[in-house]
Amino acid sequence: MATYSTLGITLLVHKYKGTGRVVSFCTPTRGKVEAVAQGIGRPHSKLAAAVELFTLSKLMFAEGRDLDRLIQAEVIEAHYALRQDMTRLGYASYIAELTANTSEPDHPLPGLFERLAGTYSALCDATSAGSGQATDPELVLWSYLMGLFEAHGVAPDLEVCCRCRTALSGDGWYVPADAGLMCAGCRPGENGMLLSAEARGTAQSIQRMPPDKLGRLSLGDEARGQIRRFIDAHTDHQFAVETKSRKFIRQLRGMSPEI
């Protein structure tokens, strides 16, 4: 029986044959690993803690004909805080679903595992927007999405008009059909989503800064709404993945305007 060991972060968990689970992990060396974990529902299961969502563990798998089997696990970081409030749970679930749906087995995307671990760690420390110095969870989400775009080679260029290639100054417009930002001259008619100079500058900072440094950024409501629409549109255009958790985040936003 061939076995292999790797670090992994739990992305998705589905029930499988009674007390079993099929689990998707993000790993640094093997991309997405989908494996069966047996006996999770039983008391004292040694694997149960590692298949909790968002947990970072050291894992050992046995190769199988169809699915590999998780045979050992040691939790390194449970990211417990992500399961403790609705906002963090919503963002962490959205990140997990998007990562699982855009990753392939045996195709690790460079730096993505490390970025995911850093993002979950920053999200554990984040609190809701507007409450003092702490990092705003939506900025952490956007930072991860910018990293995911980059890992897939579809990062939006926020400095240059995608049509005429002149440097943007001031406002720009994101045109979903072109998946890029345009200047006032190239923007087709009234189409496109405005990214003001403030929103574009903040989006550039989010692109460049590691997630644990984002607490330094402050953002007005108008710019926040513009960046949100732009990033959602670019995510839809590039990945075309409808996730359950984004609907959940939208519901949360409806209930509480600051998130």
Total number of residues that touch Zn ion (CB under 5 A)? 5
DSSP 8-state class, residue 168? P
152/163 with CB nearer Zn ion: 163
Q: Does 183 bind Zn ion (CB under 5 A)?
A: yes
Q: Among residues 88, 70, 98, which one has the least CA distance to residue 12?
A: 98
Nearest CB to Zn ion, comparing residues 134 and 164: 164
What is the DSSP annotation of 66-101? SSEEEEEEEEEE--GGGGTSHHHHHHHHHHHHHHHH
Q: Which one, of 152, 154, 94, 156, lies nearest residue 123 by Cα?
A: 94
Q: Which is nearer to Zn ion, 1 or 167 (CB)?
A: 167
Beta carbon nearer to Zn ion, 35 or 183: 183
- Stretch near Zn ion under the rule CB under 5 A, chosen from 81-89, 124-132, 179-187, 226-234: 179-187
What does the block give as tokens for 107?
Answer: 């195709």
Find the part of the chain contacting Zn ion (CB under 5 A) among 61-69, 128-136, 145-153, 184-192. Answer: 184-192
Q: Name the residue nearer to Zn ion (CB basis): 175 or 219.
A: 175
Q: What is the full DSSP assignment across 94-159?
A: HHHHHHHHT-BBTBPPTTHHHHHHHHHHHHHH---TTSTTSPPHHHHHHHHHHHHHHHTT-PPPSS
Identity at 223, one-letter amino acid code = A
* Run of H or E including 52: none
Contact set for Zn ion, span 151-170 (CB under 5 A): 161, 163-164
Q: CB of 71 within 8 A of CB of 62? A: yes
Site string for Zn ion, 110-149 (x = CB under 5 A): ----------------------------------------
Q: State in angstroms the smallest separation of the CB of 184 from Zn ion.
A: 8
Report, in Å, the least distance between residue 199 CB and Zn ion: 18
Nearer to Zn ion, 9 or 183 (CB): 183
Which residue ranges make up the site for Zn ion (CB under 5 A)?
161, 163-164, 183, 186
